[in-house]
């Protein structure tokens, strides 16, 4: 892990810790999703810093991380798959296919990506607000919490952050 990755990773860990604290207190979904989205975006940036070059400030969300991870050399991917709880790289690859919709949901809920629709930070639509995040029930949150696929993705995110040194 290089110096830039270490700095980003420290921030990712803190974001995730705040998410966990907020979840324990029963905070509204919007705040939980906000921290979860930020944690995954920063996880992606922390990972992409492995090239030694700064990733773009935008469009570097969670799906980029998943794709870049799967593009690693075969021997490295063996080790990474095991660190993330999969027996083989093929299992990790197949699992990513099943969660890509959720991963895009998490990536695209950021205000800059949400196309003036539901997002965890600002009332929408911007020009004539009719909804506010704090009172919104997010289908994404329900899917993350109440489906096996969603819970699997949550576990994957926690392992990716906790074991980041194994994949950086």
Q: How many residues bind other proteins (CB under 8 A)?
A: 31
Q: Rule CB under 8 A: choose which of 25, 53, 130, 146 binds other proteins.
A: 53
CB 119 within 8 A of CB 133: yes
The smaller minimum CB distance to other proteins, of residues 116 and 142, is found at: 116
Q: What letters, b where the CB count within 10 A reaches 16 and e where it falls short, cover 102-137?
A: bbbbbbbbbbebeeeebbbbeebeeeeeeeebeebe
Q: Does 162 bind other proteins (CB under 8 A)?
A: no
Among 39, 36, 14, smallest CA distance to 141 is for: 36
Q: Does 14 bind other proteins (CB under 8 A)?
A: no
Q: Does 71 bind other proteins (CB under 8 A)?
A: yes
Q: Does 114 bind other proteins (CB under 8 A)?
A: yes
- The dihedral of CA 11, 145, 63, 155: what is its sign? positive
Q: How far is the CB of 98 from other proteins (least distance, A)?
A: 10
Q: Rule CB under 8 A: choose which of 7, 79, 101, 132 binds other proteins.
A: 101
The smaller minimum CB distance to other proteins, of residues 18 and 114, is found at: 114
Q: Tell me how far apart the alpha carbons of residues 93 and 41 are, in angstroms, rounded to a whole number.
A: 20
CB 21 within 8 A of CB 35: no
Q: How far is the CB of 76 from other proteins (least distance, A)?
A: 9
Q: Does 55 bind other proteins (CB under 8 A)?
A: yes
Q: Tell me how far apart the alpha carbons of residues 60 and 166 are, in angstroms, rounded to a whole number.
A: 21
Q: Which residues form the interface with other proteins (CB under 8 A)? A: 47-51, 53, 55-56, 58-60, 63-64, 66-68, 70-73, 93, 96-97, 100-101, 104, 108, 112-115
């Amino acid at each position: 892990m290089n110096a830039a990755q270490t700095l980003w990773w420290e921030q990712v860990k803190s974001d995730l810790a705040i998410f966990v604290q907020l979840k324990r207190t029963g905070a509204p979904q919007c705040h939980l999703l906000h921290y979860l989205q930020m944690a995954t975006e920063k996880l992606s940036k922390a990972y992409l810093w492995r090239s030694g070059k700064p990733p773009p400030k935008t469009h570097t969300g969670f799906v980029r991380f998943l794709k870049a991870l799967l593009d690693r050399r075969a021997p490295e991917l063996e080790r990474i798959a095991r660190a993330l709880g999969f027996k083989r790289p093929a299992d990790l690859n197949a699992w990513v296919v099943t969660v890509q919709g959720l991963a895009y949901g998490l990536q695209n809920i950021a205000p800059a990506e949400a196309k003036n629709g539901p997002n965890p930070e600002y009332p929408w639509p911007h020009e004539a607000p009719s909804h506010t995040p704090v009172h919104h029930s997010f289908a994404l949150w329900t899917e993350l919490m109440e489906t096996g696929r969603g819970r699997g993705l949550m576990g994957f995110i926690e392992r990716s952050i906790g074991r980041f040194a194994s994949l950086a």
